[in-house]
Structure 1
């Protein structure tokens, strides 16, 4: 695993790269542009075109005119969650002290694919285990219980899980619930990622364009992956300033990366 500005980055698969680029661009990209980006990341044209076909078949992307593609914003919830990272903080509302809960002790683990989807849904929505089979998170998301139930189901939560609200926990359980998230690590990660973005942003000005484009793609996707999984804890459990600062830095960095990307695409193919 490589590092860029003290941030670990992972080379994307063809489908991941396609989705990342379509999210970042916000519009349509030609198959030629996507294949060129694949080559920059060491992904062959045939592999990338197979990725395009599979994503289109899964409804995650849509075909446009003349071999162009765009993100399908009516497609799977996971793709929409990635697409919406810029506005994630707007999902938070004032916390009244209650908790959203998922009881999944009765969910079978035998179907590993379904269990992974179930677990990923809980992780993406910021749930943590208070007891075996009982996952909770603060009830501080817009729309409350019904909206959260819909989000979880769309992301793959098992139909055998129960989603409900918990109020009036006893003192010991309330204290334990407040300590489920490693706030120090979350804060430190946000500050480290912000520092990495700011350092890279300065480097982008002096690097060869192809190098700058590659770095911005890899670093940007690493930071966005962190933001997507941010549990969006209320201020009563975690200071919001590190997350707010990281979001602002990421928006600025991605705007710069988009400019570099479009400039690189405008160059003739060597």
Structure 2
């Protein structure tokens, strides 16, 4: 389910719910908190009523995804804090990588079971967010080119949803030579096409938004920006030996530019009546 989310896919306005809008705005905010008034105003872009936004905020607080830092002001709660922080650091995504020495990371999950479907989804999302792909032998692998050491990387996985009992190993060789097939778990052509499509979408959007009404421009930049940041955060961060690393860097650089355009559009929207 989660293994294809690294591919860029423009967000569908019809898929935006009050819950997803609250979490996306909080994760995408330049400041670590957001007010209920701003959430309600943002909801109007997607025909979400104020009462619906308030209910979503209440339920997110009850589930631990939000906390109130002041009256009518919200920050990430304990259940979303690690993931929100990760999303907010998309600009520094290239710092998560180091040169690849040909070794691999493996995640063993068979002993964790699959009866708790909610936890299985959280586990697989955490692995997908960290660039792992599942092998035919039912364990997960990725190149060992992440900047974090093994224990810190394992802690990162757990903080975003993986089980406490997950086993992470570094593999330098296998007797069966399986690592030769692991490189094919990611499609270079699919990645390159995804990066190119994201860049084209941002370029086209930046040509349009200066002439759009404030509400339309804010909605446009939210949908485009959200979908690109999602692709960045789900990217497998492959080394240059396995994927089009230069094109990924181009996409991130373009998103930095697009983010400035989006901020300007939202300032214009916030100032509108």
Q: Shared fold (TM-score greater than 0.5)?
A: yes
Q: Specify which of 232, 235, 239 is matched with residue 230 of structure 1.
A: 235
Q: Specify which of 162, 165, 173 is matched with residue 168 of structure 1.
A: 173
Q: CA deviation at 1:154?
A: 1.3
Counterpart in 2 of 1:122? 127
Q: 1:228 to 1:8 in 2, by over 3 A?
A: same
The two structures, once aligned, show a CA RMSD in angstroms of 2.1
2:11 paired with 1:9: yes
Asked if the contact 2:64/2:78 (under 8 Å) is kept, the reply is: no
Counterpart in 2 of 1:76? 81
Counterpart in 2 of 1:155? 160
Counterpart in 2 of 1:3? none
Counterpart in 2 of 1:267? 272
Mapping 1:37-186, distance limit 5 Å: 37-71=42-76, 75-170=80-175, 172-186=177-191
Q: CA deviation at 1:141?
A: 0.8
2:213 paired with 1:208: yes
Counterpart in 1 of 2:5? none
1:95 and 1:53 map into 2 onto residues whose CA distance is 45
Deviations 1:178-221 (A, max 9, x none): 11111210111011111100100110011112111111111111
Asked if the contact 1:24/1:254 (under 8 Å) is kept, the reply is: no
1:51 and 1:204 map into 2 onto residues whose CA distance is 29
Q: Identify unmatched segments of 5+ residues in structure 1.
A: 1-5
2:49 and 2:116 map into 1 onto residues whose CA distance is 33
Asked if the contact 1:25/1:258 (under 8 Å) is kept, the reply is: no
Aligned residue for 2:110, secondary structure, equals: coil
Asked if the contact 2:67/2:74 (under 8 Å) is kept, the reply is: yes
Q: Identify unmatched segments of 5+ residues in structure 2.
A: 1-7
Q: Count how many residue pairs are aligned between Structure 1 and Structure 2.
A: 263
Aligned residue for 1:168, secondary structure, equals: coil
Aligned residue for 1:64, secondary structure, equals: strand
Which one scores higher on RCO, CA 8 angstroms, separation ≥ 6?
A: 2
1:7 and 1:122 map into 2 onto residues whose CA distance is 20
Deviations 1:67-97 (A, max 9, x none): 2234459953222222222211110011111
Asked if the contact 2:106/2:170 (under 8 Å) is kept, the reply is: yes
1:153 and 1:21 map into 2 onto residues whose CA distance is 24
Q: 1:72 to 1:255 in 2, by over 3 A?
A: farther
